[in-house]
Amino acid sequence: MNYLFKGIIPTVILFLFLLSCGTKSKEFSPPTFKKQVKLKHTVIQDTLLLHPPREIISFDKYIVMNVLTDGKYLHIFDKQTGEYLGGYVEKGQGPGEIATRGECLDYYKKDKIITLLATNTNQCFIYAVNDDSDNLLTFESKKSFFGNITAKSEKLSSIFKIDENFYLSDSRIPPLSTNNQRFALITETGEKTNTYNGFATDDYEAYSASSQRISISPNRMKMACATYYGAVLETFETGASVNLIREKLFYPIIMGSTKSGMAIATDETIYGFLDICTSDEYVFTILIGSKEPNTGLKNISVFNWNGDPVIRFETDIDLFRICYNEDDNRIYAVARTEDYDYILVKFDVSDYLK
């Protein structure tokens, strides 16, 4: 019996060792871009006269910025000339006006509409895009999601129209935890037909609306989500259901906390994805990868939808926001000059991405 007991102990120790290896923390590895190219910008507007925008999108001949300036949220520019075409969506409580902050700016090509989410209300405002250059946007309707009593605590962070029947939503029910509410396909009344409730890491604050970036592909079949703290990139299929394609852990999420438990950046925090946008083939990002948030901004780091590094464009100017226009295969960006002025620029990447 003693010999048998002595034989069992090493076996148990070996089993526990293997078990601990299988459950150890996830490993992070910075992306390696084998192909790197220097890229020069072309200025299309050297005087924006706006605050730095939260989001920008581009479609047809327009660039639209989401930034509250002069009492209006959306500001439209001509993508070729940089001409300012007007401000739309007033801050207020009248028809088509948003009283809280507007976010999650999106364009749905099939219906020629722009959607904008009003924070803390779970309401999506819908605006028609017109051919009239003097009246490009008109209020069409607003839709309320999760209006029933049982879902009052659910906060909608993002909303994208997928097709005539469904929206893709990103929402939370505090406190955040494993298998907490996240992505879902929902009807206009808020009914969920399919959900994805996983997170790539357990640093849930890094997936809040203020510290993550989401972009949906022009064909509405894929979606990318990237964190600003650390650098985690997740890609999903968003057709008939929400399915994870790949999760990539590039930089660890290192955060501190206040006495109230709110997560905050520390001296050890690594800043990751400042912004992302997508085509049907690629995910374009501004990847900082540094403990200094204002460095490493002269790049457009490109990934495929498996999260694999494709090419890194080293640009000649600091970038703040980027967007992709499928009509001309160009990347448009809000950039920052050495004098800290924000300007509108574009990049032609067609020779490098086929």
State the pLDDT at residue 260. Answer: 67
pLDDT greater at residue 205 or residue 27: 27
pLDDT > 80? residue 8 = no
State the pLDDT at residue 133. Answer: 85
The dihedral built from the CA positions of residue 168, 170, 171 and 176, taken in this order, carries a sign that is positive
pLDDT > 50? residue 14 = no
**318: confidence class by pLDDT, cuts 50, 70, 90:** very high
Say which residues have a Cβ less than 8 Å from residue 144's Cβ, sequence separation at least 6.
121, 122, 123, 190
pLDDT > 90? residue 89 = yes
pLDDT > 80? residue 123 = yes
Classify burial at 45, counting beta carbons within 10 Å of its beta carbon; exposed 0-12, middle 13-18, buried 19 or more.
buried
Q: How far apart are CA 296 and CA 289, in angstroms?
A: 7
pLDDT > 90? residue 271 = yes
pLDDT > 90? residue 126 = yes
pLDDT mean over 222-234: 97
State the pLDDT at residue 218. Answer: 96
> Mean pLDDT, the chain, as a whole number?
88
pLDDT > 70? residue 197 = yes
State the pLDDT at residue 226. Answer: 97
The dihedral built from the CA positions of residue 84, 86, 92 and 98, taken in this order, carries a sign that is negative
| CATH number for the domain that contains residue 111 | 2.120.10.30
State the pLDDT at residue 119. Answer: 84
pLDDT > 50? residue 77 = yes
- Could you tell me if residue 1 is inside a domain? no
- Could you tell me if residue 155 is inside a domain? yes
- Could you tell me if residue 18 is inside a domain? no
Backbone angles phi, psi at 15, to 5 degrees: -65, -45
Q: How many domains does the chain have?
A: 1
pLDDT > 80? residue 276 = yes
- Could you tell me if residue 6 is inside a domain? no
- Could you tell me if residue 16 is inside a domain? no
Q: What is the percentage of the chain residues whose pLDDT exceeds 90?
A: 70
pLDDT mean over 16-45: 76
- Could you tell me if residue 354 is inside a domain? no
State the pLDDT at residue 148. Answer: 47
Q: How far apart are CA 267 and CA 259, in angstroms?
A: 18
pLDDT greater at residue 24 or residue 134: 134
- Could you tell me if residue 135 is inside a domain? yes
Helix or strand or coil: residue 16?
A: helix
State the pLDDT at residue 5. Answer: 42
pLDDT > 60? residue 4 = no
pLDDT greater at residue 14 or residue 338: 338
**55: confidence class by pLDDT, cuts 50, 70, 90:** very high
pLDDT mean over 98-125: 94
pLDDT > 80? residue 348 = yes
- Could you tell me if residue 283 is inside a domain? yes
What is the domain extent for residue 306?
Answer: 26-348
The dihedral built from the CA positions of residue 41, 43, 44 and 45, taken in this order, carries a sign that is positive
Backbone angles phi, psi at 6, to 5 degrees: -65, -30
Q: How far apart are CA 138 and CA 131, in angstroms?
A: 11
pLDDT > 90? residue 2 = no
Neighbours of 208 (CB within 10 A): 16
